[in-house]
Amino acid sequence: MLMENMQLKSQLRNVTKHLIGLAAATARLPILHSDQPLRADMQSVTAALDSVPTSNEMEFRSMIASTFPTTLRTALDLLTPEIGSKLLPLYQQWHADAL
């Protein structure tokens, strides 16, 4: 029972690291509104692309690059949606394992 609790705690820490990293990366994405002029949306996109990643995001990107060297070795340079789509099967597996 103690070993199972330790394993669950470790898995929860790992999942939480992923959530924090993805939340930090997602928070930098532009917010677009259909009622805004296109110029304002383009400024939001440009600002998002020019923004500096947070330390949480960089730690997350480094962690997944080292954890998944085959599929995410270039995580430092990938766009957030690319990272999400590459990690989606893993997250789906984690969810299935938890049921």
Its pTM stands at 0.76
What pLDDT is recorded for position 66? Answer: 95
Range of the domain at 96: 53-99
Angle, nearest 10°, between helix axes 80-98 and 55-67? 70
Residue 22 lies inside a defined structural domain of this protein: no
In angstroms, the CA 93 to CA 97 distance is: 6
What's the angle, vertex CA 54, arms to CA 94 and CA 57, rounded to 5?
A: 20
Residue 75: other Cβ atoms inside 10 A: 23
Answer whether residue 67 shows pLDDT above 90. Answer: yes
CA 67 from centroid of its chain's CA atoms: 14
Residue 62 lies inside a defined structural domain of this protein: yes
Q: Copy the structure tokens of residue 44.
A: 């939001």
pLDDT tens, residue by residue, 1-21? 777 888 888 888 999 999 999
Residue 12 lies inside a defined structural domain of this protein: no
Split into its structural domains, the chain has a count of: 1
